């Protein structure tokens, strides 16, 4: 037999086909690795499928807790939304999967690392950079990209090899983690059409959601969620609980045009119930406990952090630098946020914190307040001084330039 190659295996069409391709074209001993990041799929079935396809060895790794604590929680602290919409659910799982692939490759004495990414998407960047950084001496193989395989060719090849092709695989390309589902291809490529009901699994349609609103309270400590509706939970349980609550109320469907790293604009459809709720709550709490300067500056840091995570630069030193700032900024982000969920809608309706900078006595409009309103006049005089000077000069200059009428 040939060299040992470690393949990131999902059990889906692309990677199942790659097992046979690698065995036939490379004469390789294929070692498959399936990393459980909460995708709610039949991973035991994936293991059986891999064995039937004749892999040398298969590894199933339960990394859900690690994924939540070391990847999702940092994204929450950074208000992780790419282009203001996408909670980077797929992007977050890639560096973890790559890390596990390298660990198995070192254990098994493999010489190559294989992923099933195309040359049109972002995942190729994420895997190549992370794998190349963690295992610079191992070669990276991307057959779908490098051999130019099309989805139609894969389906036909799968039929010839007796590899079952699910109905979902024929309709969409799906990737999931506990932080969200990404649905692509097929009917969704027509950006003018509403996604069909079959695309969604974790959320109900807004019109089918309950007729009464549901309230949910998220408690945070130092920037991360620790309880739901007053009940302390483990990190993974929090995400799963909020996924269920938000999903049944139709919250968490995302449909937008996204700018991929390779320059393509792509129509992307996601289901991210817990991410939608928790990120909204976290950002709201930050505004209560942080100063204006902190909020405005951190928004710039957050945007850079999210871009690095999205762009496959999870192991870049700049991300570590930004983590240091973000973690420091979260020391006072402790408190509760109450949200109202109703037929696909989400609204923050209350928040409280022992570290709150909001003072009702200062903010109210009652004349009997601790806020000395007379101070405002002097403040306004100085605050707008240069603005008034500029406009006065502008008006004076305009008058001087105005031509005089001839008699």
Catalytic sites, residue numbers: 14, 94, 123, 173
103-115 pLDDT, tens digit each: 999 999 999 999 9
Which segments of the chain belong to CATH 3.90.1260.10?
200-359
CATH topology of domain 200-359: 3.90.1260
* pLDDT number for residue 363: 63
Tell me, what's the pLDDT at 406? Answer: 62
Q: What is the pLDDT of residues 203-245, one digit of tens each?
A: 999 999 999 999 999 999 999 999 999 999 999 999 999 999 9
Below-70 pLDDT ranges, the chain: 1, 166-170, 362-369, 403-407
The answer to whether the CB of 176 falls within 8 A of the CB of 247 is: no
* pLDDT for res 265: 94
E strands of 265-382, at which residues?
Answer: 265-271, 335-342, 345-352
Reported pTM: 0.90
CA-to-CA dists, residue 62 to 35, 38, 181, 199, 350, angstroms: 6, 9, 18, 26, 36
Residue ranges, comma separated, of all CATH 3.40.50.620 domains in the chain are 4-176
- Nearest-angstrom CA–CA distance, 272 and 40: 13
Residues in the chain: 407
The confidence score (pLDDT) of residue 213 equals 98
Q: Output the six-digit token pair for 324.
A: 């240091």
CATH number for the domain running over 4-176: 3.40.50.620
Neighbours of 29 (CB within 10 A): 18
């Amino acid at each position: 037999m040939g060299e040992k190659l470690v393949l990131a295996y999902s059990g889906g069409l692309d990677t199942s086909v790659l097992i046979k391709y690698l065995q036939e074209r490379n004469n390789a001993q294929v070692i498959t690795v399936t990393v459980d990041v909460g995708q709610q799929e039949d991973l035991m079935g994936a293991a059986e499928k891999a064995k039937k396809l004749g892999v040398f060895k298969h590894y199933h790794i339960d990394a859900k807790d690690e994924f939540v604590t070391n990847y999702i929680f940092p994204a929450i602290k950074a208000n992780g939304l790419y282009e203001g919409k996408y909670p980077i659910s797929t992007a977050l799982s890639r560096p973890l999967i790559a890390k596990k692939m390298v660990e198995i490759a070192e254990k098994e004495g493999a010489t190559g690392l294989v992923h099933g990414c195309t040359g049109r998407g972002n995942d190729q960047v994420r895997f190549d950079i992370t794998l190349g950084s963690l295992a610079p001496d191992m070669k990276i193989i991307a057959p779908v990209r490098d051999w130019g395989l099309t989805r139609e060719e894969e389906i036909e090849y799968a039929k010839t090899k007796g590899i079952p092709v699910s109905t979902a695989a024929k309709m969409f390309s799906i990737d999931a983690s506990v932080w969200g589902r990404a649905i692509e291809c097929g009917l969704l490529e027509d950006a003018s059409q509403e996604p069909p009901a079959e695309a969604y699994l974790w959320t109900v349609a807004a019109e089918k959601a309950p007729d009464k609103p549901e309230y949910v309270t998220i408690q945070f400590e130092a920037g991360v969620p620790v309880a739901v509706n007053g009940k302390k939970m483990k990190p993974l349980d929090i995400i799963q609980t909020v996924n269920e609550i938000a999903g049944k109320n139709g919250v968490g469907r995302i449909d937008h045009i996204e700018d991929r790293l390779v320059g393509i604009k792509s129509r992307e459809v996601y289901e991210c119930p817990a991410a939608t709720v928790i990120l909204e709550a976290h950002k709201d709490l930050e505004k209560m406990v942080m100063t204006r300067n902190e909020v405005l500056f951190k928004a710039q840091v957050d945007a850079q952090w999210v871009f690095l995570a999205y762009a496959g630069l999870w192991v870049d030193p700049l991300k570590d630098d930004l983590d240091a700032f973000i973690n420091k900024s979260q020391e006072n982000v402790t408190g509760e946020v109450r949200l109202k969920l109703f037929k696909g809608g989400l609204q923050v309706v209350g928040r409280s914190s022992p570290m709150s900078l909001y003072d009702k006595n200062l903010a109210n409009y009652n004349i009997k307040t601790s806020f000395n309103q007379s101070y405002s006049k002097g403040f306004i005089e100085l605050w707008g001084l240069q603005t008034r000077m500029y406009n006065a000069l502008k008006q004076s200059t305009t008058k001087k330039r105005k031509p005089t009428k001839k008699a």
